[in-house]
Structure 1
Amino acid sequence: MNTNQRLHSLDNLRAIMMWLGIVVHVSVNYMESPAPTPWRDSQTSLLADLLIVFIHAFRMPVFFILAGFFVAMLVARRGIAAMLQQRVRKLVWPFMLFWPVLFIGMALLMAVYAHLNAYGTIGVDFSLIPQIPGRAKVSLLHLWFIYYLFLYCLVYALLLRLSVTVPLGWQEGFARSWKILGMNWWGILLLSLPLAVAGGFYRNGMVIPLGSFLPDIAEFIHSGLFFTFGIFLYRYQSEILENFTRKSWLYLIAGLPVFVLFLKLSKSFGSAESTGYGMQWAMAYLYNGVSWLWSFALIGLFLRYLPGRNRVLTYMADSSYWVYLVHMLGTMGFGILLYHSPFAAIGRMICNILLTTVFCLLSYHLLIRHRFMGRFLNGGTKKTTAGPDAGAIHPSQGAQ
Structure 2
Amino acid sequence: MNLEPPAGLRDFTPEIKILRKKIFNRIEKIFIRYGFDPIETSTVEYWDILKGKYGEEAENKLIWRFRLPYSDKEYSLRYDHTIPLARFYSRFQFPLPFKRYVIDKSYRYDNPQKGRYREFYQADFDIIGSREYTSDAEIINLVIEVFKEFKFNNYKIIINNREFLRYIFEKLLSINQDKIFKVYNIIDKLDKIGIENVEKELNSILDTDTSNKIINIIQLKDQELIDYLSKFNDLNELINYNNNIFDLLVDKKNVELSLSLVRGLDYYTGMIFEARVDEPKIGSLAGGGRYDNLIGKFSNRDIPAVGGSIGIERLIDAGIELKIFKMKKKTYTDLVVVYFNNTLKDAWSICNKLRSIGINCYIDIMSRDFNKQIKYAVDKDIRYLLIVGEKEIKNGFVLLQDRETKERINIKIEELDNIKNIIYK
Whether the TM-score (by the shorter chain) exceeds 0.5 is no
- TM-score, normalization by structure 2: 0.24
Instruction: Report 1 or 2 for greater relative contact order, CA contacts < 8 Å, sequence distance ≥ 6.
Output: 1
Greater helix fraction, Structure 1 or Structure 2: 1
Greater strand fraction, Structure 1 or Structure 2: 2
Structure of greater Rg: 2
